[in-house]
Amino acid sequence: MSLDAKKSLGQNFLKSEKAIRSMIESPDISHDDIVVEIGPGKGALTKPLLETGATVVAFELDKRMVEYLHETFGEYVMSGKLILVHQDVLEADISAYTSGQPYKVVANIPYYITNLIIRTFLSNGHQPTSMCLLIQKEVAERIVSRNGKESILSLSVQLYGIPRFIMKVDRRYFSPKPKVDSAVIIIDAINRDDIVDVDFENKFFEIIKTAFSQKRKKAIKNLSMLASKSTWENIFEACGIDRDVRAEDVTYTQWLEIVDKYR
């Protein structure tokens, strides 16, 4: 059977031993872990994950890959250490597949659904404890606010966990070679501790999306779509934040304060 890469499924197979090692070591995978792998492909990450003794639940959309993995890792499938699921991970009942137990996500994910995967797992009723991801380098830099600027993405991730940049992975370490470089990041300490209730979570997203709606404008100017300018000026003043600031220069902790005062 041909295992040629399907562009439509974002298939770029990983060839870097260094990146693979870092994706096992950074989340400290060990034999008592349950790992959810998204898109195992030909098993570049699946194999070293299984070698740690961890239980791996791998969601793969490409039937050819599922069959190939069944043949290659038959013993692990038989022993229950590898659970192969032929399904779109975005539609999967993660809680059922992990029996409601704590789990970690490790994945080289397709570029085209990066944001959706991050959002789906972080806001899931059964969140992972950590996510170690190989993603497009620019997106990784945005998530960890490498240039000192926040974005909707960086703030959304910080609401649930602590993101950290691990390493750059040059495009030549993939087959076929993509047009962009990649990077490994980890989102650690995932929890809902900063979320007081559902209303807080909804307001947080409503406020940051509105504040960033026109990036060049001041945050308060954008936010005046939600409430009067003076309301926001009072809130910003009470939080000790400059009223002329742009949304990208307001820190995560300051946004928490703003949301708390607004609702």
Residues forming the site for ligand SAM (CB under 6 A): 9-14, 38-41, 44-45, 59-62, 65, 88-90, 108, 110, 113
Nearest distance, CB of residue 82 and ligand SAM, angstroms = 14
Using CB atoms, what's the residue nearest to ligand SAM? Answer: 39
Pick the closer one to ligand SAM by CB: 10 or 161.
Answer: 10
Pick the closer one to ligand SAM by CB: 15 or 261.
Answer: 15
Pick the closer one to ligand SAM by CB: 33 or 62.
Answer: 62
What's the rounded Cα separation, in Å, for the pair 17 and 45?
Answer: 10
Omega before 110 cis (within 30°)? no
Pick the closer one to ligand SAM by CB: 87 or 254.
Answer: 87
Nearest distance, CB of residue 129 and ligand SAM, angstroms = 21
Nearest distance, CB of residue 182 and ligand SAM, angstroms = 9
Map tokens 């290659």 to a residue: 72
Nearest distance, CB of residue 62 and ligand SAM, angstroms = 4
- Please choose, from the candidates 62, 57, 95, the residue with its C-alpha nearest in 3D space to the C-alpha of residue 73: 57
H or E stretch covering 163: strand 162-169
- What's the angle, vertex CA 40, arms to CA 169 and CA 44, rounded to 5? 55
Residue 231 tokens, joined: 């309301």
Task: Tell me if 183 sits within 8 A of 137, measured CB to CB.
Answer: yes
Nearest distance, CB of residue 104 and ligand SAM, angstroms = 15
What's the rounded Cα separation, in Å, for the pair 60 and 9?
Answer: 10
Nearest distance, CB of residue 211 and ligand SAM, angstroms = 31
Pick the closer one to ligand SAM by CB: 27 or 110.
Answer: 110
What's the rounded Cα separation, in Å, for the pair 118 and 235?
Answer: 30
Residue 10 tokens, joined: 């974002």
Roughly what angle, to the nearest 10 degrees, separates helices 229-238 and 252-262? 120
Pick the closer one to ligand SAM by CB: 11 or 130.
Answer: 11
